[in-house]
Amino acid sequence: MPKIKSLEELMKIKEDAIKDLKLRQSGKRGKVIVAMGTCGIAAGAKETLKAIVDAINEFGVDDIAVVQSGCMGLCDVEPTVEVSLMDEEPVIYGNVTPEQARRIVEKHLKNGEIVADLVVKRGEV
């Protein structure tokens, strides 16, 4: 583990740990994070978010939290969607259209299959 160089870094680690703990306590097995920075919104993230929520409801995936975030720093591949499932490495998908969002819900969240052609990063941002 790298050295913590500031109080802000320590507080960020604490916030992340609390979020993960709440996620486990809520009975959810994971979360989907849709980047809703200005670059993401301009690229269509609002429609992507709506498609994810609709697909989650349609497929009956009720153990996933859907969360919005600011920019993930991957502006060139917006809209971006991060899938974080318990005990698995996070996967970030890029250029996610509403149709692709539906594929992510069906394949990754429902069937446990990563949608390889959309992956832009694995692991923490």
Class of domain 28-122: alpha beta
Q: What is the pLDDT of residues 50-106, one digit of tens each?
A: 999 999 999 999 899 999 999 999 999 999 999 999 888 999 999 999 999 999 999
For the chain, the domains span: 28-122
Residues paired with 66 in a beta bridge? 32
Assigned token pair, 121: 């990063």
Q: What is the pLDDT of residues 111-125, one digit of tens each?
A: 999 999 999 998 765
pTM listed for this prediction: 0.76
- A 10 A CB-CB count for 18 gives 10
Closest CA to 37 of 78, 67, 65, 66: 78
Query: Do the strands 64-69 and 30-35 form a parallel or antiparallel pair, or are they unpaired?
Result: parallel
